[in-house]
Amino acid sequence: MWSTAREIAAGDTVIIWLTREVVQSLVVTPGKDFNSKFGNYRHSDFIGMPYGSKVGSRTGKGFIHVLRPTPELWTMALPHRTQILYIADISLIISYLDIRRDSRVIEAGTGSGSFSHSVARSIGPSGHLWSYEFHEARAKKAREEFAQHGMSDIVTLTHQNVCKDGFNLTDAADSVFLDLPAPWDAVEHAKQALRKDRTTRICCFSPCMEQVLRTVSALNDAGFSDITMYETLVRPHDVAHVPALQSVTEVADKLKKAEGVREIKRLRQIAAGQRSHENPHGEKRKRSEEGSEQEELPVAEAEDSGSGKRLKTDDEMDDGTPSQDADVSRNLDELSVHTVRAGASIPAPPAKISVSKAIPEVRGHTSYLTFATLLPPMPPAPPEDTASQVPETT
Protein backbone atom coordinates (compact mmCIF):
# COMPACT_ATOMS: atom_id res chain seq x y z
CA MET A 1 0.00 0.00 0.00
CA TRP A 2 2.03 2.93 1.29
CA SER A 3 5.80 3.39 1.36
CA THR A 4 7.63 1.10 3.76
CA ALA A 5 10.97 2.90 3.27
CA ARG A 6 12.57 4.56 6.26
CA GLU A 7 12.80 7.94 4.55
CA ILE A 8 10.19 10.06 2.83
CA ALA A 9 10.47 10.19 -0.98
CA ALA A 10 8.85 12.32 -3.68
CA GLY A 11 5.42 10.94 -4.59
CA ASP A 12 4.81 9.38 -1.15
CA THR A 13 1.48 9.90 0.55
CA VAL A 14 2.29 11.24 4.01
CA ILE A 15 0.21 12.18 7.03
CA ILE A 16 0.70 15.71 8.36
CA TRP A 17 -0.07 15.78 12.08
CA LEU A 18 -0.85 19.34 13.18
CA THR A 19 -2.79 18.64 16.37
CA ARG A 20 -4.74 15.67 17.61
CA GLU A 21 -7.84 17.21 16.02
CA VAL A 22 -6.19 18.36 12.79
CA VAL A 23 -4.62 15.54 10.80
CA GLN A 24 -4.25 15.80 7.02
CA SER A 25 -2.70 13.84 4.18
CA LEU A 26 -0.71 15.02 1.20
CA VAL A 27 1.32 13.63 -1.67
CA VAL A 28 4.89 14.88 -1.47
CA THR A 29 5.35 16.93 -4.64
CA PRO A 30 8.61 18.87 -5.13
CA GLY A 31 7.81 22.49 -5.94
CA LYS A 32 4.64 22.52 -3.88
CA ASP A 33 4.18 24.21 -0.52
CA PHE A 34 2.16 23.20 2.49
CA ASN A 35 0.69 26.21 4.25
CA SER A 36 -1.24 26.12 7.50
CA LYS A 37 -1.76 28.23 10.57
CA PHE A 38 1.09 26.21 12.05
CA GLY A 39 3.57 27.56 9.55
CA ASN A 40 4.63 27.17 5.94
CA TYR A 41 6.63 24.25 4.57
CA ARG A 42 8.11 23.14 1.25
CA HIS A 43 7.30 19.58 0.22
CA SER A 44 10.87 19.21 -0.99
CA ASP A 45 12.08 19.77 2.59
CA PHE A 46 10.35 16.51 3.64
CA ILE A 47 12.22 14.40 1.09
CA GLY A 48 14.96 12.33 2.72
CA MET A 49 13.67 12.88 6.25
CA PRO A 50 12.81 9.75 8.20
CA TYR A 51 9.10 9.13 8.71
CA GLY A 52 8.04 10.36 12.13
CA SER A 53 10.12 13.55 11.95
CA LYS A 54 9.13 16.74 13.66
CA VAL A 55 9.58 19.58 11.19
CA GLY A 56 9.87 23.24 12.12
CA SER A 57 8.31 25.83 9.80
CA ARG A 58 10.47 28.02 7.58
CA THR A 59 9.86 31.06 9.77
CA GLY A 60 10.79 29.21 12.93
CA LYS A 61 7.28 29.58 14.35
CA GLY A 62 5.19 26.41 14.44
CA PHE A 63 5.93 22.79 13.64
CA ILE A 64 4.33 19.66 12.25
CA HIS A 65 5.00 15.94 12.43
CA VAL A 66 5.27 14.02 9.16
CA LEU A 67 4.02 10.45 9.62
CA ARG A 68 3.75 7.26 7.61
CA PRO A 69 0.11 6.61 6.70
CA THR A 70 -1.69 3.74 8.39
CA PRO A 71 -5.36 2.87 7.92
CA GLU A 72 -5.97 4.35 11.40
CA LEU A 73 -4.28 7.66 10.53
CA TRP A 74 -6.04 7.66 7.17
CA THR A 75 -9.36 7.35 9.03
CA MET A 76 -8.42 10.52 10.94
CA ALA A 77 -7.26 12.36 7.81
CA LEU A 78 -9.61 11.23 5.08
CA PRO A 79 -12.02 13.59 3.35
CA HIS A 80 -15.48 12.62 4.63
CA ARG A 81 -17.91 11.90 1.81
CA THR A 82 -20.21 9.89 4.08
CA GLN A 83 -20.51 8.94 7.73
CA ILE A 84 -17.40 6.82 8.27
CA LEU A 85 -16.44 3.80 10.35
CA TYR A 86 -14.02 4.21 13.24
CA ILE A 87 -11.50 1.92 14.84
CA ALA A 88 -13.76 0.23 17.40
CA ASP A 89 -16.20 -1.06 14.78
CA ILE A 90 -13.59 -1.64 12.07
CA SER A 91 -11.32 -3.71 14.29
CA LEU A 92 -14.11 -5.87 15.70
CA ILE A 93 -15.52 -6.53 12.21
CA ILE A 94 -12.07 -7.52 10.87
CA SER A 95 -11.70 -9.98 13.76
CA TYR A 96 -15.18 -11.46 13.56
CA LEU A 97 -15.10 -11.84 9.78
CA ASP A 98 -11.72 -13.58 10.20
CA ILE A 99 -10.07 -11.27 7.67
CA ARG A 100 -6.37 -12.10 7.34
CA ARG A 101 -3.69 -12.71 4.72
CA ASP A 102 -5.12 -13.72 1.33
CA SER A 103 -8.75 -13.27 2.43
CA ARG A 104 -11.27 -12.40 -0.28
CA VAL A 105 -13.64 -9.77 0.99
CA ILE A 106 -16.68 -7.91 -0.31
CA GLU A 107 -17.80 -4.51 0.96
CA ALA A 108 -20.78 -2.40 0.01
CA GLY A 109 -20.84 0.56 -0.01
CA THR A 110 -17.40 1.94 -0.31
CA GLY A 111 -18.39 5.26 1.27
CA SER A 112 -15.32 7.25 2.24
CA GLY A 113 -13.06 4.20 2.16
CA SER A 114 -12.24 4.10 5.88
CA PHE A 115 -13.00 0.37 6.20
CA SER A 116 -11.49 -0.44 2.77
CA HIS A 117 -8.01 0.65 3.84
CA SER A 118 -8.13 -1.51 6.97
CA VAL A 119 -9.19 -4.53 4.93
CA ALA A 120 -6.50 -3.90 2.32
CA ARG A 121 -3.85 -3.79 5.06
CA SER A 122 -5.03 -7.07 6.60
CA ILE A 123 -5.43 -9.13 3.42
CA GLY A 124 -1.96 -8.18 2.17
CA PRO A 125 -0.70 -8.10 -1.41
CA SER A 126 -2.32 -11.40 -2.46
CA GLY A 127 -5.79 -10.98 -0.96
CA HIS A 128 -8.69 -9.29 -2.72
CA LEU A 129 -11.34 -6.73 -1.89
CA TRP A 130 -14.39 -6.18 -4.07
CA SER A 131 -15.86 -2.83 -3.19
CA TYR A 132 -19.23 -1.54 -4.44
CA GLU A 133 -20.53 2.02 -4.37
CA PHE A 134 -23.84 3.13 -5.86
CA HIS A 135 -23.01 6.85 -5.79
CA GLU A 136 -21.06 7.62 -8.95
CA ALA A 137 -19.03 10.63 -7.72
CA ARG A 138 -18.03 8.81 -4.51
CA ALA A 139 -17.01 5.74 -6.50
CA LYS A 140 -14.83 7.87 -8.76
CA LYS A 141 -13.14 9.63 -5.85
CA ALA A 142 -12.54 6.35 -3.99
CA ARG A 143 -11.04 4.79 -7.12
CA GLU A 144 -8.57 7.68 -7.36
CA GLU A 145 -7.62 7.28 -3.71
CA PHE A 146 -7.10 3.53 -4.01
CA ALA A 147 -4.85 4.11 -7.02
CA GLN A 148 -2.90 6.83 -5.20
CA HIS A 149 -2.41 4.45 -2.25
CA GLY A 150 -1.16 1.59 -4.38
CA MET A 151 -4.22 -0.58 -3.77
CA SER A 152 -5.44 -0.97 -7.36
CA ASP A 153 -4.06 -4.50 -7.62
CA ILE A 154 -6.02 -5.81 -4.67
CA VAL A 155 -9.18 -3.68 -4.79
CA THR A 156 -11.81 -3.96 -7.51
CA LEU A 157 -14.17 -1.01 -7.25
CA THR A 158 -17.51 -1.24 -9.02
CA HIS A 159 -20.10 1.49 -9.38
CA GLN A 160 -23.24 -0.55 -8.79
CA ASN A 161 -26.32 -0.79 -6.61
CA VAL A 162 -25.87 -4.22 -5.04
CA CYS A 163 -29.41 -4.35 -3.64
CA LYS A 164 -30.72 -4.27 -7.21
CA ASP A 165 -27.93 -5.81 -9.24
CA GLY A 166 -25.98 -8.02 -6.86
CA PHE A 167 -22.22 -8.49 -6.83
CA ASN A 168 -21.59 -10.28 -10.20
CA LEU A 169 -19.71 -12.91 -8.18
CA THR A 170 -20.43 -16.54 -7.40
CA ASP A 171 -18.71 -18.64 -4.73
CA ALA A 172 -15.86 -16.12 -4.57
CA ALA A 173 -15.65 -14.39 -1.19
CA ASP A 174 -14.71 -15.43 2.34
CA SER A 175 -16.67 -12.61 3.93
CA VAL A 176 -19.12 -9.83 3.16
CA PHE A 177 -19.53 -6.48 4.88
CA LEU A 178 -22.74 -4.56 4.19
CA ASP A 179 -22.98 -0.90 5.17
CA LEU A 180 -26.20 -0.14 3.34
CA PRO A 181 -29.51 1.47 4.26
CA ALA A 182 -31.39 -1.75 3.44
CA PRO A 183 -28.92 -4.62 3.87
CA TRP A 184 -31.76 -7.19 3.83
CA ASP A 185 -32.18 -6.54 0.11
CA ALA A 186 -28.57 -7.63 -0.50
CA VAL A 187 -28.51 -10.76 1.68
CA GLU A 188 -29.46 -13.22 -1.06
CA HIS A 189 -26.91 -11.64 -3.43
CA ALA A 190 -24.30 -11.92 -0.69
CA LYS A 191 -25.08 -15.57 -0.24
CA GLN A 192 -24.47 -16.17 -3.93
CA ALA A 193 -21.14 -14.35 -3.80
CA LEU A 194 -19.88 -16.30 -0.77
CA ARG A 195 -17.85 -19.47 -1.13
CA LYS A 196 -19.63 -22.71 -0.37
CA ASP A 197 -16.55 -24.87 0.22
CA ARG A 198 -15.84 -23.43 3.64
CA THR A 199 -17.39 -21.45 6.49
CA THR A 200 -17.96 -17.85 5.43
CA ARG A 201 -19.24 -14.83 7.36
CA ILE A 202 -21.27 -11.69 6.93
CA CYS A 203 -21.57 -8.45 8.88
CA CYS A 204 -24.37 -5.94 8.45
CA PHE A 205 -23.79 -2.47 9.85
CA SER A 206 -26.97 -0.57 10.71
CA PRO A 207 -27.62 2.29 13.11
CA CYS A 208 -31.25 1.42 13.88
CA MET A 209 -32.76 -1.53 15.71
CA GLU A 210 -35.60 -1.77 13.15
CA GLN A 211 -32.97 -2.37 10.44
CA VAL A 212 -31.34 -5.04 12.57
CA LEU A 213 -34.60 -6.95 12.99
CA ARG A 214 -35.32 -7.00 9.25
CA THR A 215 -31.72 -8.02 8.54
CA VAL A 216 -31.84 -10.83 11.09
CA SER A 217 -34.95 -12.34 9.57
CA ALA A 218 -33.50 -12.03 6.04
CA LEU A 219 -30.32 -13.77 7.17
CA ASN A 220 -32.29 -16.51 8.88
CA ASP A 221 -34.45 -17.04 5.79
CA ALA A 222 -31.35 -17.25 3.59
CA GLY A 223 -29.92 -20.06 5.72
CA PHE A 224 -27.30 -18.16 7.68
CA SER A 225 -26.75 -19.49 11.19
CA ASP A 226 -25.13 -18.33 14.42
CA ILE A 227 -26.77 -14.91 14.08
CA THR A 228 -25.56 -12.52 16.74
CA MET A 229 -25.30 -8.80 17.31
CA TYR A 230 -22.82 -6.49 19.02
CA GLU A 231 -22.38 -2.87 19.83
CA THR A 232 -18.90 -1.55 20.56
CA LEU A 233 -17.41 1.81 21.50
CA VAL A 234 -14.13 3.38 22.51
CA ARG A 235 -14.18 5.41 25.71
CA PRO A 236 -11.34 7.95 25.59
CA HIS A 237 -9.95 8.95 28.97
CA ASP A 238 -8.52 12.26 30.08
CA VAL A 239 -5.44 11.88 32.25
CA ALA A 240 -4.60 14.60 34.76
CA HIS A 241 -1.52 14.93 36.95
CA VAL A 242 -2.76 16.42 40.20
CA PRO A 243 -1.48 16.79 43.77
CA ALA A 244 -2.17 13.74 45.90
CA LEU A 245 -5.37 14.14 47.85
CA GLN A 246 -5.02 15.66 51.32
CA SER A 247 -5.74 13.62 54.43
CA VAL A 248 -8.49 14.92 56.73
CA THR A 249 -5.98 14.47 59.57
CA GLU A 250 -4.12 17.46 58.09
CA VAL A 251 -7.35 19.42 57.93
CA ALA A 252 -8.09 18.48 61.54
CA ASP A 253 -4.59 19.61 62.59
CA LYS A 254 -5.08 22.97 60.88
CA LEU A 255 -8.44 23.44 62.59
CA LYS A 256 -6.96 22.45 65.96
CA LYS A 257 -4.20 24.95 65.45
CA ALA A 258 -6.71 27.70 64.66
CA GLU A 259 -8.72 26.68 67.68
CA GLY A 260 -5.63 26.98 69.91
CA VAL A 261 -4.71 30.36 68.51
CA ARG A 262 -8.21 31.62 69.12
CA GLU A 263 -8.12 30.45 72.72
CA ILE A 264 -4.74 32.07 73.30
CA LYS A 265 -6.10 35.35 71.96
CA ARG A 266 -9.11 35.09 74.22
CA LEU A 267 -7.06 34.40 77.31
CA ARG A 268 -4.63 37.15 76.34
CA GLN A 269 -7.47 39.62 76.07
CA ILE A 270 -8.87 38.53 79.44
CA ALA A 271 -5.45 39.08 80.92
CA ALA A 272 -5.23 42.47 79.24
CA GLY A 273 -8.70 43.30 80.51
CA GLN A 274 -7.68 42.57 84.05
CA ARG A 275 -4.63 44.79 83.64
CA SER A 276 -6.80 47.60 82.29
CA HIS A 277 -8.80 47.49 85.53
CA GLU A 278 -5.60 48.55 87.22
CA ASN A 279 -4.83 51.05 84.43
CA PRO A 280 -8.00 52.90 83.38
CA HIS A 281 -6.46 54.55 80.22
CA GLY A 282 -8.11 52.70 77.34
CA GLU A 283 -5.78 53.71 74.54
CA LYS A 284 -2.69 52.56 76.36
CA ARG A 285 -4.29 49.20 77.05
CA LYS A 286 -4.84 48.55 73.39
CA ARG A 287 -1.28 49.32 72.44
CA SER A 288 0.21 47.15 75.16
CA GLU A 289 -2.00 44.24 74.15
CA GLU A 290 -0.87 44.38 70.56
CA GLY A 291 2.74 44.56 71.58
CA SER A 292 2.58 41.58 73.87
CA GLU A 293 0.77 39.51 71.27
CA GLN A 294 3.51 40.04 68.75
CA GLU A 295 6.15 39.16 71.30
CA GLU A 296 4.69 36.00 72.69
CA LEU A 297 2.46 34.54 69.97
CA PRO A 298 4.02 34.65 66.53
CA VAL A 299 1.75 31.77 65.48
CA ALA A 300 -1.22 34.08 65.61
CA GLU A 301 0.02 35.95 62.54
CA ALA A 302 -1.66 33.44 60.29
CA GLU A 303 -5.06 34.39 61.62
CA ASP A 304 -7.19 36.47 59.27
CA SER A 305 -9.22 39.49 60.17
CA GLY A 306 -12.45 37.48 60.15
CA SER A 307 -11.42 35.33 63.04
CA GLY A 308 -10.21 38.46 64.80
CA LYS A 309 -13.75 39.72 64.74
CA ARG A 310 -15.02 36.45 66.13
CA LEU A 311 -12.49 36.69 68.93
CA LYS A 312 -13.91 40.07 69.92
CA THR A 313 -17.38 38.60 70.36
CA ASP A 314 -15.96 35.82 72.45
CA ASP A 315 -14.31 38.46 74.59
CA GLU A 316 -17.54 40.36 75.03
CA MET A 317 -19.29 37.22 76.15
CA ASP A 318 -16.56 36.48 78.60
CA ASP A 319 -16.34 40.04 79.81
CA GLY A 320 -16.67 40.35 83.50
CA THR A 321 -16.12 36.67 84.33
CA PRO A 322 -13.74 36.42 87.22
CA SER A 323 -10.40 34.79 86.44
CA GLN A 324 -7.04 34.52 88.08
CA ASP A 325 -3.84 35.80 86.58
CA ALA A 326 -1.86 32.67 87.42
CA ASP A 327 -4.38 30.36 85.76
CA VAL A 328 -4.39 32.42 82.61
CA SER A 329 -0.66 32.34 82.14
CA ARG A 330 -0.48 28.59 82.79
CA ASN A 331 -3.17 27.95 80.19
CA LEU A 332 -1.31 30.15 77.78
CA ASP A 333 1.87 28.13 78.13
CA GLU A 334 0.08 24.82 77.52
CA LEU A 335 -1.76 26.14 74.52
CA SER A 336 1.37 27.56 72.94
CA VAL A 337 3.10 24.20 73.17
CA HIS A 338 0.07 22.41 71.71
CA THR A 339 -0.30 24.90 68.90
CA VAL A 340 3.31 24.63 67.82
CA ARG A 341 3.18 20.82 67.84
CA ALA A 342 0.05 20.79 65.66
CA GLY A 343 1.79 23.08 63.19
CA ALA A 344 4.88 20.87 62.98
CA SER A 345 2.86 17.74 62.11
CA ILE A 346 1.78 19.12 58.70
CA PRO A 347 3.90 17.21 56.16
CA ALA A 348 5.74 18.60 53.17
CA PRO A 349 3.59 19.36 50.08
CA PRO A 350 2.26 15.97 48.85
CA ALA A 351 3.51 14.24 45.71
CA LYS A 352 1.48 14.36 42.52
CA ILE A 353 -0.63 11.48 41.23
CA SER A 354 -2.05 10.60 37.82
CA VAL A 355 -5.79 10.19 37.60
CA SER A 356 -8.10 9.53 34.69
CA LYS A 357 -11.75 9.64 33.81
CA ALA A 358 -13.79 9.22 30.67
CA ILE A 359 -13.98 12.50 28.73
CA PRO A 360 -17.22 14.42 29.31
CA GLU A 361 -18.75 13.89 25.89
CA VAL A 362 -18.21 10.60 24.08
CA ARG A 363 -19.63 8.94 21.01
CA GLY A 364 -22.62 7.04 22.40
CA HIS A 365 -23.67 4.96 19.41
CA THR A 366 -22.33 4.21 15.97
CA SER A 367 -24.19 1.21 14.60
CA TYR A 368 -25.27 -2.28 15.49
CA LEU A 369 -23.04 -5.02 14.11
CA THR A 370 -25.11 -8.01 13.05
CA PHE A 371 -22.98 -11.05 12.31
CA ALA A 372 -23.90 -14.41 10.83
CA THR A 373 -22.20 -17.49 9.48
CA LEU A 374 -22.86 -19.44 6.31
CA LEU A 375 -21.81 -23.07 6.58
CA PRO A 376 -21.01 -25.22 3.57
CA PRO A 377 -24.07 -27.23 2.54
CA MET A 378 -24.56 -30.51 4.39
CA PRO A 379 -22.90 -33.41 2.58
CA PRO A 380 -25.26 -36.05 1.23
CA ALA A 381 -26.30 -38.57 3.88
CA PRO A 382 -23.32 -40.84 4.61
CA PRO A 383 -23.40 -44.43 3.39
CA GLU A 384 -24.66 -47.00 5.88
CA ASP A 385 -21.12 -48.23 6.45
CA THR A 386 -19.83 -46.07 9.30
CA ALA A 387 -16.87 -48.31 10.05
CA SER A 388 -14.45 -45.45 9.40
CA GLN A 389 -15.70 -43.77 12.59
CA VAL A 390 -15.00 -46.76 14.81
CA PRO A 391 -11.42 -47.45 15.83
CA GLU A 392 -10.17 -50.69 14.48
CA THR A 393 -10.10 -53.35 17.13
CA THR A 394 -6.74 -54.99 17.11
In DSSP notation, 80-147 reads PSS----HHHHHHHHHHTT--TT-EEEEE--TTSHHHHHHHHHH-TT-EEEEEESSHHHHHHHHHHHH
Phi, psi dihedrals of residue 79, rounded to the nearest 5°: -70, 120
325 is in an annotated binding site: no
> Is residue 50 a contact residue for other proteins (CB under 8 A)?
yes
Q: Cα(209)–Cα(215) distance, rounded to whole angstroms?
A: 10
Closer residue to other proteins in complex, CB, 18/272: 18
- Closest contact distance (angstroms) between CB of 165 and other proteins is 13
> Is residue 392 a contact residue for other proteins (CB under 8 A)?
yes
- Of residues 109-168, those binding other proteins (CB under 8 A): 118, 121-122, 124-126, 128, 130, 156, 168
- Closest contact distance (angstroms) between CB of 87 and other proteins is 6
Give first-to-last CA distance, the chain, whole Å.
58
- Closest contact distance (angstroms) between CB of 287 and other proteins is 43
Number of residues that bind other proteins (CB under 8 A): 102
Phi, psi dihedrals of residue 230, rounded to the nearest 5°: -130, 160
> Is residue 284 a contact residue for other proteins (CB under 8 A)?
no
What Rg value do the Cα atoms of the chain yield, rounded?
A: 39
Closer residue to other proteins in complex, CB, 295/392: 392
- Closest contact distance (angstroms) between CB of 271 and other proteins is 47
> Is residue 350 a contact residue for other proteins (CB under 8 A)?
no
Closer residue to other proteins in complex, CB, 42/100: 100
Pairing of strands 104-108, 33-36: unpaired
> Is residue 37 a contact residue for other proteins (CB under 8 A)?
yes
| Signed CA dihedral, 160, 164, 170, 173: sign only | positive
- Closest contact distance (angstroms) between CB of 246 and other proteins is 18
290 is in an annotated binding site: no
Closer residue to other proteins in complex, CB, 156/331: 156
Binding region for other proteins (CB under 8 A) out of 107-115, 273-281, 318-326, 379-387: 379-387
In DSSP notation, 360-372 reads SS------EEEEE
